[in-house]
Structure 1
Amino acid sequence: MTNEVDGHGVLSVRDQRRNRLLRGLNIRDSVGIEIGPLCWPLVRRSDGGEIIYVDHTDTPHLREKYRNDPNLNVNEIVNVDAVWGRNTLHQAVKGRYVDYVVASHVVEHVPDLVTWLKELASVLKPTGEVRLVVPDRRYTFDYFRRESRLPEVLASYIARARIPQPYSILDCCLAAVEVSAVDAWQNRVNPSWAKRHHTWEAALGLAEDAFRNGTYHDIHCWVFTPRSFARLIADLCRMGLLDFACEDFSDTLVNDLEFSVVMRRSSDPEHIANSWSRMAQSARDATPGVPFWRARRKLEELRAGHGDSPIVPRVGGQHSELDPSEPVAMPPDFDPSAYLEANPDVAAAGVDPVVHYRQFGWREGRSIRPSSAA
């Protein structure tokens, strides 16, 4: 996917997308995680800083899994640094806290959305952020599906789902069709001739296989538009399951199929609620096929451009009074004795090491064990 113009230094389409999605992120001076990069990492090792590539299995198994996939070159799959499977993400990255997590076209695949987002939150520093790139249902093979709703998200959370649930498999396989983003934008998708990905017999078979045998079938478990995503995350935050605020948002571009969102933990419920409300209000929701959709979309763009309360992001990497006061989870290898040895002032004060780390040490970036040099 290289559209470079010889001699003019014009960035490829992929590089333009990458620069847009990583805008404002200080990669060179940061430690970050990218989940599921395969052949196309947003953050490259050559960018400087430290990037930890995380996937559900190691590189040899990924190459075997995708060896017959015509859409990627298995020899270009990145070297995976950490495997996140039955363990937690915090365990996978050896208890480290990072400045950012990025994931492109991953969130829609995870069987348990709430637990997955909580695990991303668990590895963030107080100033850390999550950047997600999310497919917009209206311009993908999910064209005929409805947006995911709170009850089904909660049902998967209660089940602590490790594989896509039968209802998700059926919803995806019974409705998925071959769609190009351009055709969707031009309202040229007709349900009578759109080619289905699966027959109903195949869809039922996959769902039964998952239910009876626990087989993992890779599908889009969740379906979003920018507005439905904002409202769903706002509901989860209002319930106390998450504490992410929307720090920035980029709507789906014309003839494109994805939107992006920057999330950062916050201790202020009002700030969290207002941030998602602003995203929902600024998202252009006029869908192709609806009467006068082009005129409506133009009005939405004008209204979003003159809003009274635009999203004002916290500066990445800089502390704010809105930052969380405690980590989501303690480091998996936290040892109270080692923490006191590494921080003699805490030991001298007679403070409980666990309480001190949760309330102060995490925010101060204190070491949890003595350094080898010491």
Structure 2
Amino acid sequence: MDRRDSILKYIAKEQRGIEIGPWFGPLAPKRDGYQCLALDIADTDTLKRRASEDVRRPPEDIDRIEEVDLLGSSTDISELVKRRHQLGTFDYVVSSHNVEHMPNPIRFFQGCGRVLKQGGIISMAVPDRRACFDYFRPLTKLAEWIEASLEERNRPTFAQRFEFDTTFAQYDDGKQSVSSFHCKVQPSMVSAIFNLDTAFQQWLDRRQQKDPPYLDTHCWVFTPASFELLIRDSAYLGLIPFELVEISETAGNEFYVHLRATTSTHTLRPANYEAIRNSILRRVLDEAAVTSALRYDAELESKRAAEPDAQSVDAKHPHDGVEAEPAPVDTRLNVANLRIRQLEEAMAELHASSSWRLTEPLRRIVTHLRRLRASN
């Protein structure tokens, strides 16, 4: 399944939808038969002019720019649709690499809840901080979303821009430097651009301006599990009317999220949410560990250790007369500890599973028969 199919998985052409900021790469364009409105902060003429002024942009990109139907901020989606007297009439909202830019995500989701029919879908592509320039930034917490909502923010804070500027990461493999890569790259090849002095001075200067310009930035930083936690926690608290339908593993530098509009308290506040939440929190830590140099080295050593035949050949017939050296003790300990933790987690999951509980009587009978056989 390609990227477009993954995002549009729960969307049909005959349905009515809205795409947020499609720019020159709409996923559900009218020309392909989609009944989809385009929402953008800039009008059509402005978008086309900007595209034409970008020397890197081929002419065909300009032709792909959709006519803007809803002019304004995505966080005002319900107000924009209300002007058309069409609240509660849409089947889906599509958003690709937008939610991380929104100053007030909770307001956006609340607005989508008013725009969509019951059962309507939000489908999103979201960047994974482990595979882009957000590499060194801390994951967004629910308290930050709530604070932005309570403050009714309509632009990024100076602090968010400062963090964005001072941790902007690039992956350098010795041939080129890129700010978009993939998960599990070698951590030592990722570095942050050093501009502390400049970024701090810009922060001070902007504070002195009466009406500072809007500076777009990644306000929020996610991995799949951390985003799931934000959505589920927000729904549990009644902040947003959406349940999680599906969230994918990261593909390239992004993952795909599908949410469904619902007012079911049973769905939004499941009875076993404490257990669900703890499971997600553990996955958040596991995902964060992917960028750890210690874990990267341990997994690399583990892969080498999984090739005993190759190691034994090298040991018996060392190249150029040089005997192969064993792995450092610290590295071997890291590998062993990692394997122990993996086995402990696997056993915990097994013990918590319904199949383990259901087969418990059978295990008792088998154990009893084994003891009888041993006594005879």
Query: TM (normalized to structure 2)?
Result: 0.66
State the partner residue of 1:39: 24
Task: State how 1:204-223 maps to structure 2 within 5 Å.
Answer: 204-206=201-203, 208-209=205-206, 212=209, 213-223=211-221
Q: 1:268 aligns with which of 257, 264, 269?
A: 264
State the partner residue of 2:70: 82
Q: 1:108 aligns with which of 76, 97, 100?
A: 100
Check 1:184–1:100 CA distance in 2 against 1; reply closer, same or farther (3 A cut): closer
In terms of fraction of residues, the more helix-rich structure is 2
Consecutive unaligned residues of structure 1, counting only runs of 5 or more, are: 1-14, 310-374
Per-residue CA distance 1:233-277 (angstroms, 9 max, x = gap): 222222221121101111103xx1111111112223342345994
Residue aligned with 1:99, SS: strand
Separation in 2, partners of 1:81, 1:245: 28
Deviation at 1:220, TM superposition (A): 0.3
Deviation at 1:166, TM superposition (A): 1.4
Per-residue CA distance 1:184-206 (angstroms, 9 max, x = gap): 52224446xx2518554235415
Q: 1:241 aligns with which of 239, 242, 248?
A: 239
Please give the root-mean-square deviation of Cα atoms over the aligned residues, in Å.
3.4
Residue aligned with 2:216, SS: coil
- Matched letter for residue 186 of structure 1: V
Q: 1:202 aligns with which of 199, 217, 225?
A: 199
Does structure 2 conserve the Cα–Cα contact (< 8 Å) formed by 1:245 and 1:272?
yes
Tell me whether 1:131 sits opposite 2:119 in the alignment. no
Separation in 2, partners of 1:178, 1:67: 28
Separation in 2, partners of 1:102, 1:41: 10
Separation in 2, partners of 1:149, 1:87: 19
Deviation at 1:64, TM superposition (A): 3.5
Separation in 2, partners of 1:195, 1:64: 33
Residue aligned with 1:54, SS: strand
Residue aligned with 1:227, SS: helix
Separation in 2, partners of 1:87, 1:134: 17
Residue aligned with 1:247, SS: strand
Check 1:127–1:52 CA distance in 2 against 1; reply closer, same or farther (3 A cut): same
Separation in 2, partners of 1:29, 1:86: 23
State the partner residue of 2:184: 185
Separation in 1, partners of 2:194, 2:29: 34
Tell me whether 1:95 sits opposite 2:85 in the alignment. yes
State the partner residue of 1:168: 160
- Matched letter for residue 198 of structure 2: E
Tell me whether 1:19 sits opposite 2:15 in the alignment. no
Deviation at 1:56, TM superposition (A): 0.8
Does structure 2 conserve the Cα–Cα contact (< 8 Å) formed by 1:36 and 1:54?
yes
Check 1:87–1:187 CA distance in 2 against 1; reply closer, same or farther (3 A cut): closer
- Matched letter for residue 228 of structure 1: S
Consecutive unaligned residues of structure 2, counting only runs of 5 or more, are: 172-177, 303-337, 355-376
State the partner residue of 2:223: 225
Residue aligned with 1:185, SS: coil
Tell me whether 1:146 sits opposite 2:132 in the alignment. no
State the partner residue of 1:12: none
Structure of higher CA gyration radius: 2
Check 1:172–1:65 CA distance in 2 against 1; reply closer, same or farther (3 A cut): same
Q: 1:287 aligns with which of 285, 290, 296?
A: 290
Check 1:102–1:187 CA distance in 2 against 1; reply closer, same or farther (3 A cut): same
Does structure 2 conserve the Cα–Cα contact (< 8 Å) formed by 1:183 and 1:189?
no
Residue aligned with 1:53, SS: strand
